[in-house]
């Protein structure tokens, strides 16, 4: 014979149990994520660390953990790539198309000269 009473003495009721939750809301952070974010914020707030990071980033010696911290706090920078259709020529292509053969040869010779010459010490490379 089936007993329709639960061990607590109340009969089973169909439907949602009000004592059960639906879980963590979407987008809610867990405790460890909040702790890591707070720790990273404390590091980034230190002016000495910021100055040191700036020097190391300029020198190319900053480690990946620091970049990760900055990405975690501020989000990764968006990178976009502009793609032109083959039907639309680029400004460079238009400029080259409008050159005479002599102008084109002169431009190529000038570019080769600029690329092969080493800039003098203290002087900036031509742009």
71-118: per-residue pLDDT in tens? 777 777 677 777 767 677 777 778 888 888 888 888 888 888 888 875
Tokens 């490379």 sit on residue: 125
What does the pLDDT read at residue 107?
85
What does the pLDDT read at residue 110?
84
Higher pLDDT, 64 or 89: 64
Task: Give per-residue pLDDT as tens, 1-48.
Answer: 555 555 666 776 777 666 666 777 888 888 888 888 888 888 888 888
Confidence grade of residue 54 (pLDDT, cut at 50, 70, 90): confident
What does the pLDDT read at residue 5?
56
pLDDT of 123 > 60? The answer is no
Please give the DSSP secondary-structure letter assigned to residue 4: -
CA distance 108 to 127: 15
pLDDT of 125 > 70? The answer is no
CA geometry: angle 78, 83, 85, nearest 5 deg: 160
What does the pLDDT read at residue 103?
87
Residue by residue, DSSP assigns 60-110 as T---HHHHHHHHHHH-PPP-------TTS--HHHHHHHTS-HHHHHHHHHH
Query: In this structure, are residues 107 and 114 in contact, taking their beta carbons and an 8 Å threshold?
Result: no
pLDDT of 121 > 60? The answer is no
């Amino acid at each position: 014979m089936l007993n329709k009473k639960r061990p607590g003495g109340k009969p089973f009721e169909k439907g949602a149990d009000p004592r059960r939750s639906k879980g963590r809301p979407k987008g809610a952070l867990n405790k460890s994520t909040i702790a890591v974010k707070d720790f990273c914020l404390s590091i980034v707030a230190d002016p000495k660390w910021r100055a040191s990071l700036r020097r190391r980033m300029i020198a190319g010696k900053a480690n990946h953990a620091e970049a990760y911290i900055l990405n975690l706090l501020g989000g990764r920078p968006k990178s976009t790539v502009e793609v032109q259709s083959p039907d639309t020529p680029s400004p460079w292509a238009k400029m080259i198309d409008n050159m005479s053969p002599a102008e084109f040869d002169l431009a190529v010779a000038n570019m080769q000269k600029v690329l092969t010459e080493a800039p003098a010490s203290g002087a900036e490379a031509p742009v």
